[in-house]
Amino acid sequence: MAKEISSTSLDGFYAEINYTSNNDLLPQGIEKEIGHFNVFDTAKVYKHHKRTKAMPYNRRMYYKISLIKGKNRAEYADKVIEIDKYALLFASPKIPYNYTSLDDRPEGFFCIFTEDFMLQEKTGLHIDELPIFRSDGYPIFQLEEQQVHEPESIFKKMMDEIGSDYAFKYDLLRNYIAELIHLGQKLQPATAIYSTTNATDRVSSLFTELLHRQFPIESTRQRIQLRTPKDFAERLSIHVNYLNKVLKEKTGRTTSEIINSRILQEAQILLKQTQWNISEIGYCLGFEEVAHFSNFFKKNLSLSPNSYRG
């Protein structure tokens, strides 16, 4: 039995698969900083993977599309899906998932890519608005044997192209990703692609996505852009009073309470898990002055940031 390798950042992912410059998992010179893409043969990854305990996938940096072969158990949101032979899995940074191979030697293919790699101006797609990556979408599709050839062929073309010298190979790889996405969306029931929700559910869901998309903070150069109820209301093109009404009805909490709770949670993580100074943490979390951040933290936890850090 093998747990899926699914770390919380690109660097963490490559550490998880035990990548070194002299193994055969990556072509030489591949970039991981901006617009990242890579594709893998699952059997080779597990050959190099030395860890026995894997972390569940979390809301982090990259998207992932997998062709899974063999017996697997997939856990996605509140669903547990038993996979008998073959499946396509589409993973978004917004939704936690995990899968466990029940075979000793997992097989298949998967690719990972960042949002930057599939920017709308490069592809014509707005990836977070695609049905396949929506929080209410269908992320896992079991396949019959005769359906496997098409996605497998696409992954093999990806693997051939990633190591090529073709000047426009990344444009071609974006096209292959788009093929896989459209293949998955064609497998979705029409009701899943075209269904509508009521305005309250839609506003609440979009607010939650906008909030969580700003985290985690992984660099002192990263700063949240949506900090107040007004910021979120403007992004959603609705009145701030309506946003507050919707969230109060759905959660029992005000917009400010929800935002502040998530910011406080991130502040605690950064104080305990980084060596950043208080000013840097406050700046990343949207506070103009370190005193404002300190007052916010003390008001909510009755401790100063320095006292909490110990």
**What is the SS3 string spanning the chain?**
CEECCCCCCHHHHHHHCCCCCCCCCCCCCCCCCCCCEEEEEHHHHHHHCCCCCCCCCCCCCEEEEEEEECCEEEEECCEEEEECCEEEEEECCCCCEEEEECCCCCEEEEEEEEHHHHCHHHHCCCHHHCHHHCCCCCCEEEECHHHCHHHHHHHHHHHHHHCCCCCCHHHHHHHHHHHHHHHHHHHCCHHHHHCCCCHHHHHHHHHHHHHHCCCCCCCCCCCCCCCCHHHHHHHHCCCHHHHHHHHHHHHCCCHHHHHHHHHHHHHHHHHHHCCCCHHHHHHHCCCCCHHHHHHHHHHHHCCCHHHHHC
Q: What is the pTM of this model?
A: 0.57
Average pLDDT over residues 233-245: 90
- pLDDT, position 33: 41
Question: Which is more confidently placed, 285 or 186?
Answer: 285
Q: What is the pLDDT of residue 6?
A: 46
Confidence of residue 49 (pLDDT cuts 50, 70, 90): low
Range in 53-67, 81-95, 225-239 the model is least confident about: 53-67
Give the list of residues 6+ apart from residue 263 with CB closer than 8 angstroms, or none: 224, 227, 285, 286, 296
Q: Which domains does the chain have, with CATH numbers?
A: 2-194 (2.60.120), 199-309 (1.10.10.60)
- The pLDDT of residue 227 is 95
216 vs 32: which has the higher pLDDT: 216
Helix 199-212 vs helix 229-236: angle between axes, to the nearest 10 degrees? 120
Please say whether the beta carbons of 263 and 301 come within 8 A: no
Question: According to the model, what pLDDT value does residue 213 have?
Answer: 82
pLDDT in tens, 18-47: 655 444 555 554 554 457 889 999 888 877
Question: Taking 50 as the threshold, does the pLDDT of residue 195 lie above it?
Answer: no
pLDDT single digits (tens) 242-263 = 999 999 999 999 999 999 999 9
What's the mean per-residue pLDDT of the chain? 81
pLDDT in the model for residue 300: 95
pLDDT recorded at residue 305: 96
- Residues with Cβ within 8 Å of 111's Cβ and at least 6 positions away in sequence, in order, are 37, 38, 39, 40, 64, 65, 155, 158, 177, 180
Tell me what percent of the residues of the chain surpass a pLDDT of 70: 75
pLDDT of 137 higher than 50: yes
Do strands 107-114 and 62-69 pair parallel, antiparallel, or not at all (unpaired)?
Answer: antiparallel
User: pLDDT-based confidence at 93, cuts 50/70/90?
Assistant: confident
Instruction: Please give the pLDDT value at position 120.
Output: 62
Most confident segment among 71-75, 77-81, 101-105, 180-184: 180-184
